[in-house]
Amino acid sequence: MGSFAGRAPVESKGIFDPCGLLRGRLALVVVLSLASLARAEEVESKPPSVVADDAQLVEIYSEDAFFEGPVWHPDAGKLFFTKHKGETNQVLRLDAPGQVTVWMDNSQGVGGLFPSPEGGLFATQAYGHRLLHFHVGENGPTDLKVLYHNNKLHQPNDLCRTSDGKIYFTDPDFGKKETSAVYLYADGHVAKVIDDMAVPNGVIASLDGNTLYVSDSHRKHWRAYPIQQDGHLGQGRVFFEPETPDREDPDGMSIDEQGNVYCTGRGGVWVVSPEGKSLGLIKTPVFISNVTLGGPDGKTLFLVGAGKVFSLRLKVRCAPFARRQD
């Protein structure tokens, strides 16, 4: 688009019109805005390249509740996810489409779940203000250990583990949005590594453990931070901010074997390359809070959120940490 510099003022019936240039600029703004919306609609209508041909979003469970923290456990061969409704906080196991078992009752707000190399699960406990680890028994968690407990935490929300064993978890201050933080747990010690984000929410690490992705539910975008050798973080940058008018909160994330990041919020689930380029949007009929990849062959995306659990077939598999080693 050419510049307006040097354009002559508009005249009407021989009378100088100082607003003519302004009208021209406003017209350009409208054209640019429409072009931006057109690009956004084009991106949103494009199916992500990682989705299997002719794949459909399949509802596999529904209930009047809010779901979070999905994780596929390869040894159990089942999907686990968390349920929140009023005073009820549970971890559910999906045994078959439409059929669940209350695998952990009175969970004290277990929200985030993440696989451990020992075959167990790491978990954040919002109302217990804890970081946990437990093994997956047939009837519930076993060998439960409290890795960290601090009543001054707001409500530990989401977590991830890097390839070399560092654990990061978010602690959003959803109320005043003043004292949110992201923490590092390593070698039995905890350190605050982000304290300038109003509402950090979801978190996932790159496959090589060099980058931490954090969703910002206040600014409505996703940020990337370089992970230093000691686990502390370098200067963050905006990793992904889609051109869409949808302002749904960015929430949980997952990652596949190619390093693509699955970002929930802003209209569904965005699939984003490691370079921060959109590969397309998976549109959903309800708000999706979090996703995970798994299934017997690792090529199923599970989506959970407002009263629904969905599955979607993919062309790619889950990250190596989320499956049995080949």
- Taking only the tens of pLDDT, the chain with its 326 residues reads 332 233 233 333 333 343 343 344 334 333 334 444 444 454 555 789 999 999 999 999 999 999 999 999 999 999 999 999 999 999 999 999 999 999 999 999 999 999 999 999 999 999 999 999 999 999 999 999 999 999 999 999 999 999 999 999 999 999 999 999 999 999 999 999 999 999 999 999 999 999 999 999 999 999 999 999 999 999 999 999 999 999 999 999 999 999 999 999 999 999 999 999 999 999 999 999 999 999 999 999 999 999 999 999 999 999 998 875 54
Q: What are residue 270's DSSP bridge partners?
A: 263, 281
Specify the CATH number for the domain of residue 256: 2.120.10.30
pTM comes to: 0.87
Residues 6 or more apart in contact with residue 171 via CB below 8 angstroms: 153, 154, 155, 156, 157, 180, 181, 182, 183, 200
Do the domain assignments include residue 32? no
> If we measure between CA atoms, which residue out of 126, 129, 87 comes closest to residue 109?
126
Instruction: Confirm whether 11 is domain-assigned.
Output: no
Cα(81)–Cα(90) distance, rounded to whole angstroms? 9
Q: Which residues contact 31 (CB under 8 A, 6 or more apart)?
A: none
317 near 326, Cβ under 8 Å? no
Domain hosting 80: range is: 52-322
Backbone angles phi, psi at 41, to 5 degrees: -65, -35
Beta bridge partners of 133: 122, 145
pLDDT at 323: 73
47: in domain = no
Q: What are phi and psi of 311, to 5 degrees?
A: -130, 155
Distances (CA, A) of 143 to 22, 90, 120, 281: 70, 18, 9, 40
What's the CA gap between 140 and 129, in Å, rounded?
20
CA-to-CA distance for 236 and 31, rounded, in angstroms? Answer: 33
What's the CA gap between 218 and 12, in Å, rounded?
Answer: 48
Say what the pLDDT of residue 129 is. 98
Q: Give the number of other Cβ atoms within 10 Å of residue 113's Cβ.
A: 24
Contacts of 196 (CB under 8 A, 6+ apart): none
Which two three-digit tokens encode residue 8?
Answer: 């002559």
DSSP notation for 259-305: --EEEE-SSEEEEE-TTS-EEEEEE-SS-EEEEEEESTTS-EEEEEE
CA distances from 203 to 93, 144, 206 (A): 23, 23, 10
**Given this model, what pLDDT does residue 25 score?**
39
Residue 175 lies in a domain: yes
Residue 20 has a pLDDT of 44
Assigned token pair, 6: 């040097």
Q: CA–CA distance from 8 to each of 4, 11, 17, 30, 302 (Å)?
A: 9, 9, 11, 21, 59
Task: Enumerate residues 6+ apart whose C-beta is below 8 A from 5.
Answer: none
- Residue 160 within a domain: yes
Question: What integer pLDDT is reported at residue 31 of this predicted model?
Answer: 39
CA distance 160 to 200: 13
In a domain, 307, yes or no: yes
Residue 18 lies in a domain: no
pLDDT at 40: 47
Count: domains in the chain: 1
- The answer as to whether 194 is a domain residue is yes
Q: Where are the alpha helices (DSSP H) in the chain?
A: 20-45
CA angle 39, 42, 43 (to 5 degrees): 90
- Give the CA-trace dihedral at 13, 16, 18, 22, to 10 degrees: 40
User: Distance between CA 240 and CA 53 in Å, rounded?
Assistant: 26
Neighbours of 37 (CB within 10 A): 13
